[in-house]
Amino acid sequence: MEKHPGSLCINPHELYYLRMQRNREKMEEQNQCKKKLRVCVATCNRADYSKLAPIMFGIKAHPDEFELEVVVLGSHLIDDYGNTFRMIEQDDFDIGSKLHTIVRGEDEAAMVESVGLALVKLPDVLQRLRPDILVVHGDRFDALALATAAALMNIRILHLEGGEVSGTIDDSIRHAISKLAHYHACCTRRAEQHLIAMCEDHSRILLAGCPSYDKLLSSHHREDYMDIIKSWLGDKVQEGDYIVALQHPVTTDIQHSIKIYGLMLDALLSFNKRTLILFPNIDAGSKEMVRVMRKKGIEQHPNFRAVKHIPFEQFIQLVSHAGCMIGNSSCGVREAGAFGTPVINLGSRQTGRETGENVLHVRDADTHNKIYHALELQFGKRYPCSKIYGDGNAVPRILKFLRTINLDVPLQKTFCFPPVKDCISQDIDHILETQSALAVDLGGTNLRVAIVCMRGNIVKKYTQPNPKTFEERMNLLLKMCTDALRDAVCLNCRVLGVGVSTGGRVNPQEGVVLHSTNLIQEWSSVDLRTPISDALHLPVWVDNDGNCAALAERKFGHGKGVENFVTVITGTGIGGGIIHHNELVHGSTFCAAELGHIMVSLEGPECSCGSHGCIEAYASGMALQREAKRLHDADLLKVEGMDMKVSEPITAAHLINAAKLGNSKADAVLNKAATALGVGIINILHIVNPSLVILSGVLASYYLAPVQHIISERALFSVRGIKVVTSDLEEPALLGAASMVLDYATRRIY
């Protein structure tokens, strides 16, 4: 082959290697041009270091990508709190700056002064270090100073554990830091949703999990755990037979948190188990808590070991093998769940945090006995391990997230407002107390109040004659309810609200009696909800007595689990309620289910409503009493074998008794009453078509057979097979009033 002058002959293999070499040189040039991310991690106390240390180790393990700077401040540098900066040095981290920022005093003013002192000292440090990003943790006042300084100096901030809720001033500080931060590494899905609801940009939120879980999930199965337990608690202590106690002050209610601390110590003394108790943190109130501890002789007590600091790796072992953990530390609601260790959370400091089933809340820790009972319930239990706060892979996610940060992108936030659900958890009061309702029955004769528990049992009942005037009636009602509430405390019943059953037409939405029956005088256009709620400080529900009877059947009686049914009350009057698709039917003007005023005759007797031919005019107790008196006045009631005293008032019972003894006149009256009631119920079956009819009231058992017979003869064939039963409930009005409370007030969240 002839070569052209000036051309070069290059072997294909040589060309390939030449290109590879050029590519390598180009990549090396790019890597040299790519700046390492300068990350400053600032730690303020022993608690946040346990979360930050795994990240610091991760950053240190990648020196080609990250440059680590460590700033130490806060209680790390105070002797009373263990001089915990030494454990950072023992972990072989170079501390670039130590800032003494704590103003002693352990009160609110000292906390504010400490924030101010930190803000004075931090600018020089941050200006010297010039980090690309500052990593801050949590909700401490020290961290707020860090975030404020960095934000004002245009330093990007990565905030750990934002979006959580704990119920104290920590919430305000944590959310303030979140608003200052540019990036977020949160622990739970709910925290992520909270951050989104707080307008944070979703693209800058990482659902990482808790970094401390990376360490505790991999290291809490150490073989030498018994050596660690014995070194802190003594040689005689056994696994699962000791308690870890850690209680911090609540800065928004210092005196109350000190009181709870004293009650906790009393309960622990009474419980008589070996206890490892850690000193509280540096928040306002901690000095007073230490005084309480020393006054009770805890440091000298043989059952207690009081310590200022425990290395995190050893603390993991102690918590994971404890019989119980008690206090208000976030460790109890977070890390302890990973081991299934039973936890008793005292007071309000962690209110709102997501917890596993291992946590028992004692928010109203107002008695020694309540805390002691919680210890009895929790000590020695084991729960399933929970990974709500992490799966052990938080650090790799956070490092990956740091690598994606583009320092050339401006730090402009976007905003959105999605809905966020609250979490539900256990409460000691729900275990120790019986959830109950205060039920009121305003009858024509008697005013009755009862404490009714969740299962429908009447714990205690109060009965008084119903006064004739409005003012007397309201005064008596409020007095009876107040007495019942006082007794409920002694009976260990937690009253959730008040339900009122009354005659007449009721607007349940407003709690107002619109029009009453003739039996209750001065009882129209009456607002019942407002005065009762104002006096008792409880929610109040009000409804018609017939509707209440239907509600009682739905919750406690034959109507339980039945989608469509009708209740017919056969008493002094005739009433009832209609349940359709599991809901009570009220009607557009709250006049639905006035079953006693269904007309069954155009020429019938006059009814109490002013009309003629209503079911009530035939079949009610008043109608039967009227007919009994008519027969008695005509000397047509009494028959052989019937015992009647001269002074005895004539009632419906005399009419029924006379019919049973063969009185044809009395029997004819009762047949007409039963027919009227049966025809009325047939009308109901043809209009509403329920699957069940429940007869309630004193006359129910007498009317059952005749009504069934009339339905089988006169109703349409398609409804003849509908079941008719008598109620088994002794107090339908009271139980129905209670059911309104128990169905609505128990939708309770924490």
Report how far residue 100's alpha carbon sits from residue 283's, in angstroms, rounded to the nearest whole number. Answer: 16
Report how far residue 88's alpha carbon sits from residue 92's, in angstroms, rounded to the nearest whole number. Answer: 7
Tell me the average pLDDT across 4-12: 51
- β 434-442/446-453 pair status: antiparallel
Which phi and psi angles does 438 have, rounded to 5°?
-95, 115
pLDDT recorded at residue 429:
60
Confidence of residue 750 (pLDDT cuts 50, 70, 90): very low
Q: Which domains does the chain have, with CATH numbers?
A: 34-210 (3.40.50.2000), 216-378 (3.40.50.2000), 427-557+741-749 (3.30.420.40), 561-728 (3.30.420.40)
pLDDT at 9 > cutoff 60: no
614 is in an annotated binding site: yes
Tell me the average pLDDT across 338-342: 88
Residues in Cβ contact with 507 at an 8 Å cutoff, skipping those fewer than 6 apart: 514, 590
Confidence of residue 568 (pLDDT cuts 50, 70, 90): very high
pLDDT recorded at residue 123:
94
Residues forming the active site: 545
609 is in an annotated binding site: yes
Which phi and psi angles does 515 have, rounded to 5°?
-140, 135
With 0-12 / 13-18 / 19 or more C-beta atoms within 10 angstroms meaning exposed / middle / buried, residue 356 is: buried
Is residue 283 within 8 Å of 106, Cβ to Cβ?
Answer: yes
pLDDT recorded at residue 41:
95
- DSSP class of residue 454 equals T
pLDDT at 218 > cutoff 80: no
Three-class DSSP category at 503: coil
Report how far residue 673's alpha carbon sits from residue 677's, in angstroms, rounded to the nearest whole number. Answer: 6
44 is in an annotated binding site: no
Confidence of residue 155 (pLDDT cuts 50, 70, 90): very high
597 is in an annotated binding site: yes
pLDDT recorded at residue 746:
59
Report how far residue 452's alpha carbon sits from residue 541's, in angstroms, rounded to the nearest whole number. Answer: 15
* Angle at 174 (CA atoms; ends 169, 176), nearest 5 degrees: 100
pLDDT recorded at residue 433:
67
Mean pLDDT of the chain: 87
Q: Could you read off the pLDDT of 642-678 as tens digits, one per residue?
A: 777 666 788 888 888 888 888 888 889 999 999 999 9
Q: What tokens does 163 get?
A: 């979006």
pLDDT recorded at residue 27:
59
Tell me the average pLDDT across 145-169: 90
Q: What percent of the chain has pLDDT over 90?
A: 49
HSE-up of residue 86 (Cα within 13 Å, Cβ side): 9
Confidence of residue 427 (pLDDT cuts 50, 70, 90): low
Of 152-161, 281-290, 301-310, 517-526, the range with the lowest mean pLDDT is 517-526
Confidence of residue 108 (pLDDT cuts 50, 70, 90): confident
Q: Could you read off the pLDDT of 570-601 as tens digits, one per residue?
A: 988 898 999 999 999 999 998 888 888 999 98
The stretches of 272-381 forming alpha helices (DSSP H) are: 286-295, 312-320, 330-333, 368-378
Query: Averaging pLDDT over each range in 16-20, 629-633, 636-640, which range is the top one?
Result: 629-633
pLDDT recorded at residue 408:
85
Is residue 88 within 8 Å of 70, Cβ to Cβ?
Answer: yes
Tell me the average pLDDT across 378-385: 88
If you write DSSP's letter for every residue of 20-88 in order, what string do you get?
Answer: HHHHHHHHHHHHHHSPPEEEEEEE-SHHHHHHHHHHHHHHHT-TTTEEEEEEEEGGGG-GGGT-THHHH
Report how far residue 634's alpha carbon sits from residue 658's, in angstroms, rounded to the nearest whole number. Answer: 14
Beta strand residue intervals within 545-648, DSSP E = 565-570, 574-580, 583-584
Q: Whose CA is closest to 298, among 329, 330, 261, 257?
A: 261
Q: Could you read off the pLDDT of 225-282 as tens digits, one per residue?
A: 899 999 999 998 999 999 999 998 888 788 988 999 999 999 999 999 999 999 988 7
Q: Which has the higher per-residue pLDDT, 50 or 6?
A: 50
416 is in an annotated binding site: no
pLDDT at 45 > cutoff 90: no
pLDDT at 1 > cutoff 70: no
Report how far residue 337's alpha carbon sits from residue 358's, in angstroms, rounded to the nearest whole number. Answer: 6
pLDDT recorded at residue 419:
57
Q: What tokens does 9 get?
A: 């002959």
Report how far residue 247's alpha carbon sits from residue 733's, in angstroms, rounded to the nearest whole number. Answer: 48
pLDDT recorded at residue 29:
57
Confidence of residue 5 (pLDDT cuts 50, 70, 90): very low
Confidence of residue 162 (pLDDT cuts 50, 70, 90): very high
C-alpha dist (Å) from residue 605 to 48, 621, 627, 632 = 83, 14, 11, 19
pLDDT at 355 > cutoff 50: yes
746 is in an annotated binding site: no
Q: Could you read off the pLDDT of 696-727 as tens digits, one per residue?
A: 988 998 899 999 999 999 999 999 999 999 99
Q: Could you read off the pLDDT of 485-508 as tens digits, one per residue?
A: 999 988 888 898 999 998 888 999
481 is in an annotated binding site: no
Of 20-29, 95-104, 470-479, 537-546, the range with the lowest mean pLDDT is 20-29
Three-class DSSP category at 566: strand
Of 229-238, 406-415, 582-591, 734-743, the range with the lowest mean pLDDT is 406-415
Q: Could you read off the pLDDT of 174-200 as tens digits, one per residue?
A: 999 999 999 999 988 889 989 988 888
545 is in an annotated binding site: yes
What's the length of the chain?
750
Confidence of residue 3 (pLDDT cuts 50, 70, 90): very low
505 is in an annotated binding site: yes
Report how far residue 344's alpha carbon sits from residue 532's, in angstroms, rounded to the nearest whole number. Answer: 36
Report how far residue 573's alpha carbon sits from residue 198's, in angstroms, rounded to the nearest whole number. Answer: 58
Confidence of residue 449 (pLDDT cuts 50, 70, 90): very high
Tell me the average pLDDT across 603-613: 87
Confidence of residue 58 (pLDDT cuts 50, 70, 90): very high
Residues in Cβ contact with 596 at an 8 Å cutoff, skipping those fewer than 6 apart: 573, 574, 575, 576, 614, 615, 616, 620
Which strand (E) or helix (H) includes residue 19? helix 12-33
Confidence of residue 94 (pLDDT cuts 50, 70, 90): very high
Q: Whose CA is closest to 71, among 47, 49, 102?
A: 49
